[in-house]
Structures are given as C-alpha cells and as structure tokens.
C-alpha cells in the first residue's frame, strides 16, 4: 500500500507492506513524525525551534530538542569536513537570494547586500555542546537546515515505522529516499536514480535495502534574470549561486540525513573537488556535469563498487 501527503513545502510518500487495518495508525504516526520535524526545523514557521534560535541573543545558550541538536551536530561536522562547502548557517543568504521565508525575487541582490549577508553568516559562528544538550550563536548568523532536514525526516519516518514492526517500507520526501526490508515479492526496493530534466544519461537503478539516496540539483528551485539562471544551490564561501557546471549530485548512504547534506556539499565543490572529497570520505557519489563538450557523468569508486 502507498500513503502520501504534503510536508516541508514538498510531497511525501511511503510504500508499506502492512495489513489494511493498520493504514490509519500508520498515517497518523507518520504525520506526527513529520509535524515534529517541521516544528523544530522549519524557517517558515515563526514559532519553530530554528526560528527561535535565529532570534536569540548572540552568546545565550539555548536548550533545543535532542533531534534538533542531532541535525545541528551532523551539519557542523560536514561543514568542517567540507571546509564550509556545506554550511547550515547561511539563512541570511538564503533569504537574500529569494529562497527562504522572505519570499522569491526576480533579480539578483546587489553586491553590497551579498557582502553584508555573507559577513553575518557562517558555521563557525554556531557553537553546540551535545553533552549538555545546548547550542548558541556567537554572532547574528541564522541557521537554515534546508540542505539536511528532509533527509533527517526520511530517517525519522523510517525509524518510526521499524519501531512499529513495519520493517518493510520505502520512504520518500521530496525525492530523498530510504528503503528497508523487502517488497511482498521478496525483491528489494529498486529505484532509478534521479537525473536532471532533459539530460540524457544512462539509467542507474539501485536496491535500497537498508540504504538511502539523496540528490541535489540546480533544476529544483531557481530564477532567471538577463538570460542567466540563478539556482538555489548557494556557495557559502562566496554568498552566490554555484556556477561550476554541476547539474546534480546523488549520494548513497545508510543515513538519508548524511546523504542529503553530502549531496549539497559535493554540488557546491564542483566535479574535481567533489570527487576528491567523496573518495576521501568513502562516499558513493554520482556527479552529472554540464560541460562545453556535453553532459558528463562521474562516479566515485564507492559508487562504482556498489553499482558493480
């Protein structure tokens, strides 16, 4: 059976091996899990934990929920390992470019506005203490979990289902997926990896058996001005949309939260640096690049081993 709905500005679906009598309970449980993630991590909700954090006085320790701190801890670690290519503290830049709660825009912001938002951003301005379950801003940097929260929500739904004894399922939120167990026919959950629209690349099909997949692409949210597309994938180091030719990055990982964040980091880094980091971290990654000679597809060694 398939359950579905809306959350986090996108759609969700769960394919589930279960008796029909359990549908109502499963639907309610999934929605509770998703509502909890939104209540903690949505910048669009003024009363969410992340919104309260972003309004807090710099230097003041707060006590966010454990799930919030789990995501923050992972985000800061990937920011460190990627040397800031992934950065959870670029809320000011996300808003400035029209991809946040402030609403969309039709023209790029002025250079001085970008410089100002960049000066107020950055993961090094966020501190956390997992032992004491606390976190704080040391400056007016604003958190934005849009590059990691969907993956975390996928994990939480999958974990909740397993805790209910519903171990055979495929969870999807906005294109990020995690599979557990098997289908009724005994086959794993086979999925075709997402590719940018209009891009001709060979179909890659993977079995999500205790595995997650996340894709970051330049085609999901963007605006065009003077013939140039400005995508939602921002480079935290420059404060501007990426322009490195990367069309999409797909990462396979047991954790959808980590797959989500790593896909964003590799997208920002670009093909050469992204592949190098994927190799260093043992990540199964596929990069699709738009180049003058046409579309090119690149695979990390871990991806090739998994596909082979």
Split at pLDDT 50, 70, 90, the class of 68 is very high
Q: In angstroms, rounded to a whole number, what is the distance separating the alpha carbons of residues 223 and 279?
A: 33
pLDDT digit string, tens, across residues 224-265: 645 565 566 899 999 998 888 898 999 999 999 999 999 999
Q: Which CATH architecture has domain 52-137?
A: Orthogonal Bundle (1.10)
Q: In angstroms, rounded to a whole number, what is the distance separating the alpha carbons of residues 146 and 189?
A: 26
pLDDT at 225: 47
pLDDT digit string, tens, across residues 164-206: 999 999 999 999 999 999 998 999 999 988 777 667 677 888 9
Q: Which residue has the tokens 């100002």?
A: 116
**How would you write the chain as a 3-class SS string?**
CEEEEEECCEEEEEEECCCHHHHHHHHHHHHHHHHHHHHHHCCCCCCCHHHHHHHCCCCCCECCCHHHHHHHHHHHHHHHHCCCCCCCCCHHHHHHCCCCCCCCCCCCCCHHHHHHHHHCCCHHHEEEECCCCEEEECCCCCCCCCCCHHHHHHHHHHHHHHHCCCCCEEEEECCEEEEECCCCCCCCCEEECCCCCCCCCCCCEEECCCEEEEEEECCCCEEEECCEEEECCEECCCCEECCCCEEEEEEEECCHHHHHHHHHHHHHHCHHHHHHHHHHHCCEEEEEEEECCEEEEEECHHHHHHHC
Q: In angstroms, rounded to a whole number, what is the distance separating the alpha carbons of residues 154 and 151?
A: 5
pLDDT at 263: 96
b (16+ CB within 10 A) / e for 145-177:
bbbbbbbbbbbbbbebbeeeebebbbbbbbbbb
Q: In angstroms, rounded to a whole number, what is the distance separating the alpha carbons of residues 241 and 255?
A: 27
Q: Does domain 182-307 have CATH number 1.20.1530.20?
A: no
Higher pLDDT, 221 or 197: 197
Q: In angstroms, rounded to a whole number, what is the distance separating the alpha carbons of residues 142 and 140?
A: 6
Split at pLDDT 50, 70, 90, the class of 114 is very high
Q: Contact at 8 Å (CB) between 248 and 288?
A: yes
Q: Contact at 8 Å (CB) between 105 and 95?
A: no
pLDDT at 203: 80
pLDDT digit string, tens, across residues 85-113: 999 999 999 999 888 888 877 888 899 99
Q: Measure Cα distances from 308 to 154, 217, 305 in Å.
A: 26, 25, 5
Structure tokens at 104: 């969309």
Q: In angstroms, rounded to a whole number, what is the distance separating the alpha carbons of residues 151 and 74?
A: 12
Domain boundaries of the chain, sorted by first residue: 52-137, 182-307
Model confidence at 52: pLDDT above 90: yes
Q: In angstroms, rounded to a whole number, what is the distance separating the alpha carbons of residues 250 and 236?
A: 20
Q: Contact at 8 Å (CB) between 98 and 104?
A: yes
């Amino acid at each position: 059976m398939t359950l579905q709905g809306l959350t986090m500005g996108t759609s969700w679906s769960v394919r589930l091996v279960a008796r029909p009598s359990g549908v109502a309970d499963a639907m309610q449980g999934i929605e509770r899990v998703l509502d909890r993630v939104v209540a903690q991590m949505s910048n669009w909700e003024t009363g969410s934990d992340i919104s309260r954090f972003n309004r807090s006085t710099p230097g003041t320790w707060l006590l966010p929920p454990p799930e919030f701190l789990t995501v923050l801890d992972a985000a800061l670690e990937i920011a460190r390992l990627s040397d800031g290519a992934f950065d959870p503290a670029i809320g000011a830049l996300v808003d400035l470019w029209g991809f946040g709660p402030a609403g969309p825009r039709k023209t790029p912001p002025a250079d001085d506005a970008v410089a100002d938002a960049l000066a107020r951003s950055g993961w090094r301005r966020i501190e956390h203490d997992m032992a004491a379950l606390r976190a704080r801003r040391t400056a007016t940097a604003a958190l934005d979990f849009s590059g990691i929260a969907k993956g975390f929500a996928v994990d939480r739904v999958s974990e909740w289902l397993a805790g209910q004894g519903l171990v055979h399922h495929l969870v999807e939120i906005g294109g990020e997926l995690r599979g557990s167990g098997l289908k009724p026919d005994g086959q794993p959950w086979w999925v075709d990896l997402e590719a940018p629209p209009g891009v001709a690349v060979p179909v890659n099909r993977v079995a999500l058996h205790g595995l997650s997949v996340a894709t970051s692409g330049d085609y999901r949210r963007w605006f065009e001005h003077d013939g140039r597309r400005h995508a939602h994938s921002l480079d935290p180091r420059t404060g501007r949309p990426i322009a490195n030719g990367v069309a999409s990055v797909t990462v396979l990982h047991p954790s959808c939260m980590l797959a989500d964040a790593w896909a964003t980091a590799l997208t920002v880094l670009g093909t050469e640096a992204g592949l190098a980091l994927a190799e260093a971290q043992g990540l199964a990654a596929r990069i699709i690049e738009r180049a003058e000679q046409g579309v090119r597809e690149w695979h990390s060694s871990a991806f090739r081993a998994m596909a082979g």
